[in-house]
Amino acid sequence: MSEDNRTPREEKGYTPASPVKRTLAWIGLVYVLILLALTTYGIFTGTGLGNLGPLLTVPGLIGLGAVAVVSWRTAGRPGKWPAFALAAICWLLALATLPIGIAGLMSNFGG
């Protein structure tokens, strides 16, 4: 009997993505969905949306904070307190930018 316990994925050299790469992929997915919504809106109405810069920074800021924490948890770099400080700064900036972004978005629908 063979005692080879490898799964088919391991035989082909499958290496799962690191948690940091998976976190970055989720950030990318959020931006893809935003671009899909903007494109769909543009096709449906025939007009584009303006003043979205601050709103489009929010997912990136949240994601950067998440990447800092995930990187610390998996690789130990950066250190615990720098990772939490960076995450807190990014999340506070996202929280401060969100109302500005929502106001910019709503300016497209005002009369």
Task: Answer yes or no: is pLDDT of 111 > 70.
Answer: no
Q: Provide the 8-state DSSP code for 79.
A: -
pLDDT at site 6: 62
Secondary structure of 8-44 in HEC code, one letter for each residue: HHHHCCCCCCCHHHHHHHHHHHHHHHHHHHHHHHHHH
* Token pair in block for residue 26: 């989720």
pLDDT at site 9: 57
pTM, two decimal places: 0.83
pLDDT at site 3: 58
**Dihedral (CA of 45, 52, 61, 93) sign:** negative
Q: Domains of the chain: which residue ranges?
A: 18-106
Residue labelled with tokens 């497209």: 108
pLDDT digits (tens, 9 = 90+) for 1-34: 555 666 655 567 888 999 999 999 999 999 999 9
**Dihedral (CA of 83, 86, 88, 94) sign:** negative
